[in-house]
Amino acid sequence: MTDHDSILGLESRLMNAWPSFDYQFYDGWVLRFANGYSKRANSATPLSVGATLDGALVDHMVEHFIVANVRPTFRLTGVQAPEADALLAERGFDEIEPTMVLTAPVDGDCSPDPEVAIQPAVTKRWVQETARSYGGEKADDKTLIEIVSRIRQRAGFATLSLDDKPVAWGLGVVERGYVGLYDIVVSPDLRGIGLGRRVVSSLMAWGCAQGAHTAYLQVLEANEVARSLYGALGFQPAYRYTHRVMPRPASR
């Protein structure tokens, strides 16, 4: 695993690559909101080593979550004081969805797959197709386009087509030598045949052409299939984060 400064360096890139709509800062924490789309854009995250929490600060941030109609979520990257996690556990916040941040060297191959088109600006079609293939809570193309339209770093929107039919998508964002990979998704009826790998490899090659030396991404710890894919592409764990979420009210 990496040191705290490296974690904060990747976290700052992540926040720039996946913008929220509202930011609030409290004693070493950043509170972000984006209409509830994705936990990373709708959570409280430590921004300084040893960031602490007390009951009053937790209550204050929870109030803002409730006003925003977002489930109170603390995203704990390991740079916070250990007492912060302990306090949230004592307050009944459940620990869910442990996630790995993985990094890999960009090996100098700057030639994307010729069947993967990478555009510098988002299109409505890219957003609609990506959201549709995600499905579930990520099928909200209106919020997705609001998020990606706010990216101020250099971005590449990838689409892999077979027989002129779009079948897989992804997003790359380059900042200060790193290319972040986001929204890697494959059409549900074509998963498991290597299309996601082609998108990832092409975005890494695109990042190489933009001067990136390292790629990074996030994957749920429980997603063994994706972790195996990324491991085969040279990705290794950089750090782990977890989410502490306020329990939902018991249904009557």
Do 184 and 161 share a structural domain?
Answer: yes
pLDDT tens digits, the chain, 252 residues: what are they?
Answer: 469 999 999 999 999 999 999 999 999 999 999 999 989 999 999 999 999 999 999 999 999 999 999 999 999 999 999 999 999 999 999 999 999 999 999 988 899 899 999 999 999 999 999 999 887 667 788 999 999 999 999 999 999 999 989 999 999 999 999 999 999 999 999 988 999 999 999 999 999 999 999 999 999 999 998 999 999 999 999 999 999 999 887 554
CATH code (residue 166):
3.40.630.30
Q: Quick one: which of 190, 146, 147 has its CA closest to 169?
A: 190
Together in a domain, 119 and 162: yes
| Cβ proximity of 184 and 222 under 8 Å | no
Q: In what order do the strands lie in the sheet with 116-119?
A: 22-26, 29-33, 44-46, 73-76, 236-245, 94-105, 214-220, 178-186, 165-175, 154-162, 116-119
Same domain for 126 and 171, yes or no, is yes
- Measure Cα distances from 76 to 34, 67, 220, 236 in Å: 18, 22, 14, 20
Task: Assess whether 77 and 139 both reside in one domain.
Answer: no
The answer to the question of residue 9 being in a domain is yes
Rg for the chain, CA atoms, rounded: 18
C-beta of residue 17 within 8 angstroms of C-beta of residue 218: no
Please tell me whether residues 121 and 65 are part of one structural domain.
no
Domain assignment present for residue 118? The answer is yes
Could you tell me whether strands 44-46 and 94-105 are parallel, antiparallel, or unpaired per DSSP bridges?
Answer: unpaired
pTM of the model: 0.93
β-strand pairing of 116-119 with 94-105: unpaired
Q: Tell me: do 56 and 137 sit in the same domain.
A: no
Residue 229 belongs to a domain? no
Eight-class DSSP state of 247:
P
123 and 90 fall within a common domain: no
Q: Identify the pLDDT of residue 1.
A: 46
127 and 146, same structural domain? yes
Q: What are the residues whose beta carbons fall under 8 Å from the beta carbon of 121, sequence distance 6 or more?
A: 155, 157
Is residue 194 assigned to a domain?
yes
160 falls within a domain: yes
Q: Say yes or no: 89 and 131 in one domain.
A: no
93 and 116 assigned to the same domain: no
- Residues 67, 69, 71, 74: is their CA dihedral positive or negative? negative
Number of domains in the chain: 2
95 lies in the same domain as 111:
no
Range of the domain at 54: 4-99+241-245
**Co-location of 111 and 94 in the same domain:** no
Look at residue 233 and tell me if it is in a domain. no
Tell me if 138 is assigned to some domain.
yes
